[in-house]
Amino acid sequence: MGALVAWGVAQASPATFVTALPVATDQLLVRFNFQSILGTQDFLGLQMPVNVGYGLTSRWAIFANFNQAYGSLGATTARPELSSWGAQDTTVFARYTIFKVDRPRSTFRIAPLAGAFLPWGDNALRYKGGPYLPGILQTGSGTVDPYFGVTMGFNSTSWGWAADTTYRANPVASQGISPGSELRSDGQIEIWLYPRHLPEEGLPKTVVLSYEMNYTKDSDTYIDGTLAPLSTGTVLKHDLFLELGTLRWQIGVGAQVPLMQSFDTPNHLRERAGAFLFFEYYLSAPDWRHRRSNT
Amino acid sequence: MRLCVWLVAVAVVGTALTAGTKQTAAGGTRAVAKLNGVFSPRGFFNIIVRLNQMEGAEWAKLDLKKSQITVDFAPGAEVTPESLQQAERQAGYKPGPVTIERLTPPVDHSAPGWKRLKHPRTKNPVARWIELNF
């Protein structure tokens, strides 16, 4: 499923990828997401990722992404209806804000990140104990996958942009289906729809329109450690989101449509459309660390 | 009769104490900090997380257009520009200049942007965390 729906869910304004926006020391950020994808071959994918971020210091933040997913493929003359459900691989990574320019009501940041995908999912799911389910229905890669990249962004009270590039290096597992390593690049631009003019006093709720593009290039897949020929793919998608932000939470809804899908084989499953919904809540972390340091 | 006298005495003392509290509350300190890098409600929350851990910080006024945060401290609280700037820094932002002034009554917290800061006192860490966040 990961091949069709990128893991990416965000920690801030861009909805489909990581950004460089700050997470304060001792701040917790929790984001609940719901994503649905429709594709050819009667594919239906549902994902419920939960992202947790924590500010270790003003520059260091750690993130964990937990995901539950369901996928199904329609029956054809060659196969019955297939489906799977379960936990996907969990992502953990650290982000360090290496460069920032803060001005009144605007910020520009660059932050490298590094971590790994942990094999909480299963890469060897089978149909009734028989053949492997297709890769799109597997919930994991079967290995610990190093993950690294860089993210940057500019934001102000009227518009902003963000971009990132990440690489997920998927080692080959001896058993099951090993998805190829993935190069991913994203871009985003947002404009403030509300308020058009900031009030003289106070902190208004904000409504932001965000346009995003996601590019992914997947390397060859391996099955039981053997190269599966003609299994690379390149996908470019675009997304439109509407986000409402307040002091303590943010909610967003959006749609995703593929612009370009290039695969080695013509009958490869292709995405048709996706829908996204997320709710993000900001929390102060438990203050035992602070209290202990004061005693 | 003794009971009545005692009740009246308690009421008088209580009223005096309450009045005294209001009086001294008005005699607190106000710090106005200019912000850099804060462009959204979420950015102000980053700073509030730090202010919640600052002793004596009672009220905060969040002004996005002015890019500033105004913090009212309880009487006797130790307030320095450096402590506010440190809070901004820990929230992930480049601190701006801070001015500190003595509060003179009446102090009005009804204008847009004022938020009461939370300082849970219970010893139970879970209850404290819930009170802080919900």
Number of domains in chain B: 1
A153 near A160, Cβ under 8 Å? yes
CA–CA distance, A116 with A187 (Å, rounded to integer): 22
Closest residue by Cα to residue A240 from A165, A293, A190: A190
pLDDT at A30: 93
Domain assignment present for B39? yes
pLDDT tens per residue, range A229-274? 999 999 999 999 999 999 999 999 999 999 999 999 888 999 999 9
Q: What are phi and psi for residue B8, nearest 5 degrees?
A: -65, -40
Nearest to A95 by CA among A16, A159, A12, A155: A12
| Averages of pLDDT over each 10 residues, chain A, 295 residues | 38 67 89 95 95 94 95 92 96 96 96 96 94 95 97 95 96 96 96 96 97 96 95 96 96 96 91 95 76 42
Closest partner residue to A157 (CB to CB) among B39, B44, B126 is B39
Residue pLDDT, tens place only, A71-87: 999 998 888 999 999 99
Which residues make Cβ contacts (< 8 Å) with residue A286, sequence separation at least 6? B125, B126, B128, B129
User: In the prediction, which pLDDT does A282 show?
Assistant: 93
**Cβ distance of A287 and B128 shorter than 8 Å:** yes
- What chain A residue is nearest to B92 in terms of C-alpha separation? A58
Measured at the CA of A58, the angle between CA A55 and CA A63, to 5 degrees, comes to: 30
Residue B1 lies in a domain: no
pLDDT value, residue B49? 92
Report yes or no: B117 at the A interface, CB cutoff 8 Å: no
pTM greater than 0.90 (yes/no): no
Q: How many residues does chain B have?
A: 134
Question: Beta-carbon neighbour count of residue A38 at 10 Å?
Answer: 13
A206 in contact with B, Cβ within 8 Å: yes
Q: Is B80 helix (H, G, I), strand (E, B) or coil?
A: coil
Cβ neighbours of A261 (radius 10 Å):
18
Dist CA A256 CA A179 (whole Å) = 23
In a domain? residue B2: no
Facing residue for B92 by CB, picked from A24, A155, A290: A24
pLDDT at B3: 55
3-state SS class at B20 = helix
Residue B4 falls within a domain, yes or no? no
Q: Is residue B70 part of a domain?
A: yes
Q: What is the CATH number of the domain that holds B118?
A: 3.30.70.100
What does each of the 134 residues of chain B score in pLDDT, given as a tens digit?
565 555 555 444 444 443 433 333 457 999 999 999 999 999 999 999 999 989 999 999 999 999 999 999 999 999 999 999 999 999 999 999 999 999 988 899 999 999 999 988 888 888 989 988 98
Phi first, then psi, for residue B42 (nearest 5°) are: -60, -35
Collapsed DSSP state (helix, strand, coil) of residue B56: coil
What token pair was written down for B27?
């005699």
Within-domain flag for B15: no
Indicate whether B17 belongs to any domain. no
Domain that holds residue B81: 26-133
Contact B65 A201 (CB under 8 A): yes
- Domain membership of residue B40 (yes or no) is yes
Q: What angle do CA A193, A195, A199 make, to 5 degrees?
A: 165
